[in-house]
Each structure stands twice: as C-alpha cells, then as structure tokens.
Amino acid sequence: MMAAGTDVEPLTAPESVAAKPPLRSRRIGRPRPGQVGTALVLAVLAGLWIYPFVWLISASLKTSSEIFGGGLDLIPEAPVWENYSRAWTEVGFATYFANSVLITVGTVLLIVVRSALAGYVLGRYDFVGKKLLIGIFLVTFFLPEGYTIIPITQLTDQLGLLNSHIGVILGLGAGGQIAATLLYAGYFRRLPKELEESARIDGAGQFTIFFRVMLPLAWPITATVVILTFLFAWNVYLLPLVFTLSEPELRTLAVGMTVFVGEQSTDWSGMAAAAVISLLPVIAVFVVLQRKFVDSIAGAVKQ
C-alpha cells in the first residue's frame, strides 16, 4: 500500500529522458525504422490531442466571422485582443474569476484541515468506533454527485447559505473527499512513534504535537491533496450551477461560461476568449507542477 506521491517514483521525468543518451538500449545502437514509425504515430496522435487547445487560442484572437468563414487556417489575420477585454469586463468574467478563486481556495483549505486532522488520528490511534467509521467511508467512496445534489441543496437552503460563497464551499468540501483522508492516514501510519514520545517528554500536548511536528512532516501529502482538491474545486460544475441558479453574482467560471453561451450564442470569439481565461490558471499550474501532478495521481491511485 503506497500512500505518498513523493516516495513513488513510477515515471520517468522529461528531463531525464532527454539527458540520457541512447546508450541505455544496449542491444540496438541506432534507431530502427520501427522506432521512427512509433515516434511518428505518437506525434500525429499527440497533435490531435492538443489541436482543440491550439484551435481555441487561435479562435480567441480572431473575429467571429473569421472563425466561421476562415477555413482551417490557425493564424489569425490580425490578433483581436479586444475579445479578451470584452469577456473580462462586459460579460463579467472578472467576477466569475474572483468567485472561482475564492471558492477554490476555501474548499482546498477546508479539505486539507479536516482531512489532515482526521487522517492523523485514523492512521496513528486506536479508538472506539474506528472500524465503523472506516467502513462508512469505504461504502460511500463512490457515491455519485448526482445522487446527493437534491438533499444537499435543500440542506444548504435550510441553513440559509444557498446564495453565498460559504454555502458552495461547504457543499464541495464538507462531505465526501475520502481519498484525502485516506492519503493522510496512510502517511501518518508509517511515521515512527518515537516522534510523539520525545515531543511528549518535552511537555507538548496533542495539539502542539500535531501542528508543530506531524503536520509539517506530512507536507508531501498536503501538496498532493492541495493539487487534487484544486483540480476538483476549479473544475466542478453541477453544484455551483445549482447553488447559483438565482444569484448571477456568485457564478463560477464554468457556470458563467454556460450562461454566456445561452445569452450570446453567436459571439464565438468572445466565448473562445472566455474559455481561455477559464482554462489558463489550471493549465498554468499544471505546466509548472506537472511532475507533482502526475506523481500525485499515480500515488493516489495506488492507495
């Protein structure tokens, strides 16, 4: 049972591939035709895979009529940056962006704190009711969101939080998300118990031990949970959609995008620009932290 992303070394990093000379394949010294063919097929497939993004960026810099009638040419005649300012200010993506950031940050904080606390005691201590709790977690692991959305909406309405950021954050982060708790539990289980004992000799209480000693030690898991939760909260659609049906001011990027489409279905270039604005943060974070992303997911699935 592997728990952490960092101590899993399942994949080759891009740098190391480039750095290693082909000496590694001992049997064959020079590239065979088969190898070139493989590379070619891969390249064509990879081209297909990123084409939608290239097309999207190109479309976001064209005029709408150019997108409709310009054929397959990807280079815009003259980049129309005005598409971006239109989406940002007139359509309201500045507000949507702020909402998405706020909701994502709140959800990530909530899930990290509550998962670390619960994972710590689940991983390191025996207590009455532990087996029951783990049993409940496992049974509800695959609960689909379409199943719980109606009662969650009712509950949030009764709490008076239906049209607020905090309502969306609680809806996303308060329940579910068992993978994060299990990741923490798995990691804390493997830390030596002398850690607590020596801290206790120094007179530290449970809370000091957790926040000063244990939580900092678990940073690799925290990084993994932050990345996975960030992806989840930034990309989630159903819950923010339902929660903000009557409150346009609270729309996230994904919800705002669909409203935009519904209201101005002919403004293709504005839509493309808005889509780029929505996707850019998550893609930027991915490109910067891609090694950690991939390891996080590979590590989490091994749990």
Map the footprint of other proteins across residues 94-153, applying CB under 8 A: 110, 113-115, 117-118, 120-121, 123-128, 133, 136, 140-152
Q: Which of the stretches 75-83, 90-98, 199-207, 218-226 binds other proteins when contact is defined by CB under 8 A? A: 199-207
Which residues have a Cβ under 8 Å from the Cβ of 247 and sit 6 or more positions away? 163
Residues in 17-36 at the binding interface with other proteins, rule: CB under 8 A: 17-18, 24-25, 28, 31, 35
What angle (nearest 5°) sits at the alpha carbon of residue 245, between those of residues 241 and 249? Answer: 95
Q: How far is the CB of 257 from other proteins (least distance, A)?
A: 6
Q: What's the rounded Cα separation, in Å, for the pair 93 and 149?
A: 26
38 near other proteins, judged by CB under 8 A: yes
Residues in 244-283 at the binding interface with other proteins, rule: CB under 8 A: 245, 253-255, 257-258, 261, 268, 271-272, 275, 278-279, 282-283
- Of 69 and 78, nearer to other proteins (C-beta) is 69
Residues in 76-95 at the binding interface with other proteins, rule: CB under 8 A: none
In order of 102, 117, 148, 182, 200, the CA distances from 205 in angstroms are 34, 15, 39, 24, 7
Where helices occur in 141-251 by DSSP H, the ranges are 145-158, 165-173, 178-189, 194-201, 206-208, 215-217, 219-235, 238-243
Q: What's the rounded Cα separation, in Å, for the pair 53 and 278?
A: 13
End-to-end, the C-alpha distance of the chain in Å comes to 6
Q: How far is the CB of 81 from other proteins (least distance, A)?
A: 19
Which residue from 108, 149, 133 is spatially nearest to 245, judged by alpha carbons? 149
- Of 71 and 78, nearer to other proteins (C-beta) is 71
Residues in 43-72 at the binding interface with other proteins, rule: CB under 8 A: 45-46, 49-50, 52-53, 55-56, 59, 67-69, 71-72
Query: Which x/- pattern over 157-196 shows residues binding other proteins (rule: CB under 8 A)?
Result: x------------xx-xxxx----x-------x---x--x
Q: How far is the CB of 283 from other proteins (least distance, A)?
A: 6
Q: How far is the CB of 167 from other proteins (least distance, A)?
A: 11
Q: What is the DSSP string of 85-122?
A: HIIIIIS-HHHHHHHHHHHHHHHHHHHHHHHHHHHHHH
Q: How far is the CB of 298 from other proteins (least distance, A)?
A: 4
Q: H or E segment at 286?
A: helix 268-288
154 near other proteins, judged by CB under 8 A: yes
211 near other proteins, judged by CB under 8 A: no
Classified as helix, coil or strand, 264 is: coil
Site size toward other proteins, by CB under 8 A: 111
Q: What's the rounded Cα separation, in Å, for the pair 51 and 265?
A: 23
Q: Which of the stretches 76-84, 91-99, 154-162, 217-225 binds other proteins when contact is defined by CB under 8 A? A: 154-162
- Of 78 and 128, nearer to other proteins (C-beta) is 128
- Of 80 and 261, nearer to other proteins (C-beta) is 261
